[in-house]
Structure 1
Amino acid sequence: METPTIKGVLGMLMASLDDDNDNEKRVISLGMGDPTAFSCFRTTSVAEDAVVDTLVSHKFNGYSPTVGHPQTRSAICEYLSNNLPYKLSPDDVYITAGCTQAIEVAVSILASPNANILIPRPGFPIYELVAAFRNVEVRHFDLLPDNGWEVDLDAVDALADQNTVAIVVINPGNPCGNVYSYHHLKKIAETAKKHKIVVIADEVYGHLAFGSNPFVPMGVFGSMVPVLTLGSLSKRWIVPGWRLGWFVTTDPNAIFKNAKTIERLKKYFDICGAPATFIQAAVPQIIKETSEVFFTRTLSILKHASDVCYKKIKDIPCLTCPTKPQGSMVVMVKLNVSLMKDIKDDIDFCFKLAKEESIILLPGVTVGLKNWVRITFAAEPSFLDEALERVKSFCYRHSYQQKGLLVHD
């Protein structure tokens, strides 16, 4: 059975609400990682003004180079180089239609007969979908919930073989809300070097870290092992609909960047094209003029929301959050179905929750963990509080024991 897609499952959950005319509660979705659904999350006026400026200039209505507009590549090169011990070149940067296309490029460019790729569980299912299209075998390694969702490096050692081409590292984490330490990222790089594989560093939530670990880009270890850095404006600037992402070869020793690979990359971009030119052209102004106050405010809101979420979950029977979120916008929560009298699994839980309480959560099976759920905490505090209160009522109603008697696992 194929793993269901996030959008597919959320669509079915929303459709189930349409069939229920008796439930008049407002729908609150904590399933999709789109912060723009809530008014407390809004991009900076600098970004909006930059796009308007490039659009009305009439200078960017034509095609851009398929690898991206030169000024866009240069701006992202400078932006990423600020956090690295070496300087990238604009030629290392390729502009993509969001991070999803960057994922497609990364997997496709590494595809070869009998190739396999190591993917985290839980993880982001787009990797599996792209790998299936490219006939690349997927091998899952576990993330350890009781250890801050760190990579099980022993499992990586056991899975890797001569046909392994890459390991995927998502940091800050989706769907777990983890942020890896410098020490752990170094261990991952050392493991990748040992197996002579590339690291695909999915950093779409880059810099959205508000816990004890600061965000460390995987490219810091590019001198040790080739790193393909994937990112976008979508989360940090709160503009997911703009579809402006990047694929970057952080490989100062040119281990990965041989002439054949670079030529293949350029040909691939000739096929898939680049995002809207006027959005690309706005990137230098967006990066240069966005103030730290905007970023600090976003982190403050996310931290407060994650604190509310973690605290509320502690009071909900049948749900356990093993690790407090440290970054991104999502968190994984364990569902103890043995404490519930009429809930079969996480999918059953989420569909009945939607029907009875008009609350949308993502079943964990969608991201690789059965009987878990993913909660997006990037929401208005009042909405988040109300949603989790309804989840609490639902859990009490479906538990074997009455409120006040059930022992929280």
Structure 2
Amino acid sequence: MENGAGNGMAVAAAAAAAAPAATWNFAPNEALLGLTALSVRGVLGRVKAGMVAGGGARPVIPMGHGDPSVFPCFRTAPEAVDAVAGALRSWEHNSYSTCVGLEPARRSIAKYLSHNLPYELSPDDVYLTSGCAQAIEIICSVLARPGANILLPRPGYLFYEARAVFNGMEARYYDLLPEKDWEVDIHGVQALADENTVAMVIVNPGNPCGNVYTYEHLAKVAETARKLGIFVITDEVYAHLTFGERKFVPMGVFGEVAPVFTLGSISKRWLVPGWRLGWIVTNDPNSVFQRTKVVDSIKSYLDISSDPPTFVQGAIPNLLENTKEEFFDKTVKILRETSDICWEKLKGISAITCPSKPEGSMFVMVKLDLTCLQDIKDDMDFCCRLAKEELVVLLPGYKNWLRITFAIDPSSLEDGLDRLKSFCLRHSKPTK
């Protein structure tokens, strides 16, 4: 019987191989196929594609995307590790979470964020997400409707456009003004908006520009949103990571002027991007989001999506309560040092101009002057060749701007900027 069955299977397999190709009823989602160019990971993959495996004698210098946790000088706080270990050892956080997140975690985050606001947040204002990336995904999904558009900053964080486009929304870009420390072009926002505009996005402190907005400028943004009848989505992942004269001001301060969705996470301030704990917070004392049922849509979306790890949620109260200020001060001190290194060394690199010294986040944007270089087509070509020749990874910005992170070990940063200078000299046009 076994031999007979085996022979029968072999005959069936041979017949199937000889049969003409079938017409299959499935196909990929076309909307996904073009999104690689709109993600940091996708662009990073293109830039690194030509690098020699192993890197030879020199190490790769990652100056393109912000994950400082790989460097020993950017280790998270011991109190954060203890909080997670305690949550695991308690045996109380191995079950599913509620869709909006564990109540103690939401209460702690509400208290933490209320310190800088003129009103108190409640746990019901907080929705936990798997990092800020899922928060962006949820907001863009909730807002999507036929004909809707959303206003995004340029330069900005690509993931917003990717999620908006995937959900069928039109992305419209307003400019950030490099000559004004990357302030929002308020007139540009007003010119772009129409009756189908649902929201505008700001990132503060700025990714990828390194700017920090003043109270006065944020007030103008809020008043503009109010006039246009839209709300503000404020990405504050880099909240409090400031090292210049300007201090961080949360957009939620202006929640009574225009409703605000605050997106944040523990990823950057605690240097743990892999822990995947973020939030959406409604800064909305006038209950606009309640009346328009936007919060109902968020809850419905959370019902059909994944949750952040329950044990990380369980660790949040102790993590927020027990982390010492010395840890935050140390992180800011290192970022101040590396931003200074970046600012000073960029001055000596031909073909690259930095319009303003970064004051926050972990990034700076620099202008690439192609007229000074030979055989370089654009910012993407520049980054790909730099990665291949010097093992330095930068990311293209837009229209020949470059995105640089300085959240790496100071000695590695100096090495990377020296290699960047050598690359520019090697490709510079000969002087006449």
Q: Which residue of 2 aligns with 1:158?
A: 191
**Aligned-partner Cα distance in 1 for 2:44–2:295:** 38
- Find the aligned partners of 2:265 and 2:294 in 1 and give their Cα distance: 23
Counterpart of 1:344 in structure 2 is 377
SS of equivalent residue, structure 2 residue 96: coil
1:328-339 matched pairs, under 5 angstroms: 328-339=361-372
Q: Residue type matched to 1:138 in 2?
A: A
Q: Which amino acid aligns with 1:314?
A: K
Gaps of 5+ in 2: 1-33
Q: Give a deviation string over 1:305-330, Cα, whole Å, max 9, x none.
A: 00000100000000000010010001
TM-superposition CA deviations, 1:204-248 (whole Å, max 9, x none) = 111111111100000000011000000000000000000000001
Aligned residues: 398
Q: Which has the larger radius of gyration?
A: 2
Q: Could you tell me which residue of structure 2 aligns to residue 390 of structure 1?
A: 419
Query: Paired residue for 2:210?
Result: 177
Q: Identity of aligned pairs, percent?
A: 56
Deviation at 1:134, TM superposition (A): 1.3
Cα distance, 1:18 vs structure 2: 2.9
Aligned-pair distance for 1:14? 2.5
CA distance in 2 between counterparts of 1:325 and 1:264 reads 37
- Is it true that 1:69 corresponds to 2:69 in the alignment? no
SS at match of 2:321: helix
* 1:204 alignment partner, one of 223, 237, 258: 237
Q: Name the SS for the 1:322 alignment partner.
A: coil
Partners of 1:58 and 1:344 in 2: CA distance = 57
| 1:377 and 2:406 are equivalent in the alignment | yes
Q: Which residue of 2 is the match for residue 11 of structure 1?
A: 45
Partner Cα distance (2:290, 2:370) in 1:
49
Cα pair 1:28 1:360 within 8 Å, conserved: yes
Contact 2:40 2:159 survives alignment (8 Å): no
Q: How does 1:95-244 map to 2 (within 5 A)?
A: 95-244=128-277
CA displacement at 1:19 relative to structure 2: 5.7
Calculate the aligned-residue CA RMSD, in Å.
1.4
Instruction: Report if the CA contact (8 A) 1:67-1:273 is conserved.
Output: no
Judged with a 3 Å threshold, the aligned counterparts in structure 2 of structure 1 residues 20 and 78 are, in CA distance, closer, same or farther, namely closer
TM-score, structure 2 as length reference: 0.90
Cα 1:5–1:261, aligned 2, differ >3 Å: closer, same or farther?
closer
The alignment partner of 1:312 has SS state of: helix
Secondary structure of the corresponding residue to residue 297 of structure 1: helix
* CA deviation map 1:89-132 (0-9, x unaligned): 10010000000111111122122221110000011111111111
Describe the superposition over 1:312-369 as per-residue Cα deviations: whole angstroms up to 9, x where unpaired: 00000000000100100011011001000121111111111111111111111xxxx1
* Structure 2 match to 1:27: 60
Q: Does 1:277 align with 2:310?
A: yes
Secondary structure in structure 2 of the residue aligned to 1:256: helix
* Equivalent of residue 353 in structure 2, options 300, 306, 320: 320
Contact 1:20/1:355 (CA < 8 Å) preserved in 2? no
SS of the residue corresponding to residue 257 of structure 1 reads helix
In the other structure, the counterpart of 1:92 is: 125
Q: 5+ unaligned residues in a row in structure 1: which ranges?
A: none
CA distance in 2, matches of 1:372, 1:114: 31
Does the 8 Å contact 1:198/1:226 carry over to 2?
yes
Contact kept in structure 2, 1:168 and 1:200, CA below 8 Å: yes
**Residue identity in the other structure for 1:394:** F
1:53 corresponds to which residue? 86
CA distance in 2, matches of 1:319, 1:208: 25
Assess if the C-alpha contact under 8 Å between 2:335 and 2:406 holds in 1: yes
Tell me the secondary structure at the aligned position of residue 74 of structure 2: coil
> Quick one: distance in 2 between partners of 1:381 and 1:260?
48
| Distance (whole Å) between structure 2 residues aligned to residue 201 and residue 281 of structure 1 | 26
- 1:259 is displaced (CA, Å) by 6.9
- TM-score when scaled to structure 1? 0.95
Separation in structure 1 between the aligned mates of residue 422 and residue 429 of structure 2, nearest angstrom: 13
Q: SS at the partner of 2:402?
A: strand
> Structure 1 segments of 4 or more deviating over 6 A?
none
TM-superposed deviation, 1:371: 0.8
